[in-house]
């Protein structure tokens, strides 16, 4: 497949490469745009104390998964039109709302703003590193996909289990694993675009956004667990 793509690239004067770069540019642009509704959703959530079924973490998790997968289905269905972009931005607003409870807790700490800044900076560094690596690495890393998927499933199961166990050490371990797994997902998703495995920028943006969001959340939980202060 790779060889045939390269051959076609030569025949069409690099048009396939130009198409991939266009998808990548559009993905970066839409990813940057998606941060606006995310921040807005987080601000609304913190300001109004939003919480999805706060009294029942399990029901909250189930409701979140149902809403998220509903968005995934709709975005995939309309990914070739402007409706898909609007749905994606609506989803990122929802994810900002879901982030607000954690942000509200962290902002209640004396060094909360510093922790959020550290998590944001760490996420930016990781994204820049993975973006650079994706453009320089030559080997095929498509085989990573199934292992990363398994790792994500393990994280979900461990997170659900910790709803009952309430073990701080397990939470920190889950957060550390999430940083590693979703950092690798960023590399994998960006490399797929450059290799021609993903040709729709709406779908690509959704995948990269979820990885960036999870890296930020995991870093924030990790920094809060290790260095949060009430003083």
Domain extent listing, the chain: 2-227
- Name the pTM for this structure: 0.88
Q: What is the pLDDT of residues 133-184, one digit of tens each?
A: 998 988 888 888 899 999 999 998 998 888 788 888 999 999 999 999 999 9
Structure tokens at 122: 């760490």
- Can you tell me the mean pLDDT for 40-53? 87
Q: What is the pLDDT of residue 159?
A: 86
Q: How many CB atoms lie within 10 A of CB 182?
A: 27
Q: What is the pLDDT of residue 164?
A: 81
194 and 134 Cβ atoms separated by less than 8 Å: yes
For the chain, the residue count is 231
Answer with the residue of higher pLDDT: 226 or 88: 88
Q: Cα dist. 215→88, 106, 153, 218 in Å?
A: 19, 16, 16, 5
Q: What is the pLDDT of residue 229?
A: 66
């Amino acid at each position: 497949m790779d060889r045939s793509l390269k051959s076609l690239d030569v025949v069409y004067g690099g048009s396939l490469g130009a198409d991939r770069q266009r998808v990548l540019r559009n993905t970066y642009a839409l990813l940057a745009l998606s941060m606006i509704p995310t921040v807005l959703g987080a601000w609304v959530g913190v300001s109004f104390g939003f919480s999805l079924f706060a009294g029942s973490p399990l029901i909250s998790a189930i409701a979140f998964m149902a809403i998220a997968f509903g968005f995934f289905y709709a975005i995939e269905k309309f990914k070739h039109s402007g409706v898909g972009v609007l749905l994606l931005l609506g989803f990122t607003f929802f994810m900002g709302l879901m982030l607000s409870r954690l942000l509200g807790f962290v902002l209640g700490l004396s060094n909360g703003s510093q922790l959020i800044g550290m998590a944001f900076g760490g996420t930016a560094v990781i994204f820049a590193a993975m973006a650079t690596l994706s453009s320089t690495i030559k080997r095929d890393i498509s085989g990573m996909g199934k292992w990363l998927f398994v790792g994500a499933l393990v994280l979900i199961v461990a997170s659900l289990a910790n709803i009952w166990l309430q073990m701080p050490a397990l939470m920190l371990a889950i957060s550390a694993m999430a940083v590693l797994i979703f950092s690798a997902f960023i590399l994998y998703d960006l490399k797929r675009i450059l290799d021609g495995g993903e040709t729709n920028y709406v779908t690509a943006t959704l995948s990269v956004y979820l990885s960036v969001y999870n890296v930020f959340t995991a870093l924030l939980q990790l920094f809060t667990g290790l260095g949060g202060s009430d003083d």
